[in-house]
A and B are shown apart, each in its own frame.
Chain A
Amino acid sequence: QVLLQESGPGLVKPSETLSLTCSVSGGSISVTYWSWIRQTPGKGLEWIGHIYYDGTTTYHPSLKTRVFISLDKAKNEVSLKLQSVGAADTATYFCARLILRQQSHRPTSAWFAPWGQGTLVTVSS
């Protein structure tokens, strides 16, 4: 059974970089895709981006100038870095395994399972 656990600072100052780690147990990250998703207070879920085991990344257009997702295969971890954070980046951040099916290089089916429990990050001075 694959389990995911997010970790990182719960408080980040405005303009600084948010850094989170997702530790994966029960399976290798050297298969499929891995994703970060966030939930802002009182609002719904927002996909941040994902990374394939070969290192290929895809990011949300509104975040792509600030976000970086990477893999540490030795530690079986997935990392998220979000630069120049502001109050709008205050959220609960989840990592999840992403299953992505494609036809002619176009995604036609995608789902997240399992998810981590999430970690709350507050941006405040």
Chain B
Amino acid sequence: QSVLTQPPSVSETPGQRVTISCSGANSNIGSSTVSWYQHLPGAAPKLIIFSTNERPSGVPDRFSGSKSGTSASLTISGLQSEDEADYYCSTWDDSLNGLVFGAGTKLTVL
């Protein structure tokens, strides 16, 4: 059972916008920034958001992140078929004294 809670799956049609939530607690999301990863089976997970709302070089601005209190969100606008993947949130947890992940959300582009 993951420390951070994500919906198991979301789906949307191409061109639309989808938001993936990540719920935590004061000891993790409430006191640290959040990162997001895109993972295709058999490939290396890829960082798409760090420090809650920053994008690494090369990540399209269709990807954005935000946080409010103990919850964070990843929003993907102008969905493309290539966005179909598993998405994970992560942050530091003071109670664990380590890093935690969500269980992942499978995004299906219909």
Chain A: residues with CB nearer than 8 A to chain B? 4, 35, 37, 43-47, 49-50, 58-61, 94, 96, 98-100, 106-118
Contact = CB atoms under 8 A, between A and B. Distances in A.
A44 B1 CA distance: 9
Interface in B4-35: 31-33, 35
Nearest to A95: B44
B32 A110 contact: yes
Contacts, number: 82
B91 interface: yes
A61 B51 CA distance: 25
B63 interface: no
A44 B37 contact: no
Given A109-B51, A111-B51, A47 B32 contact: no
Contact of B101 (A45, A59, A100, A107): A45
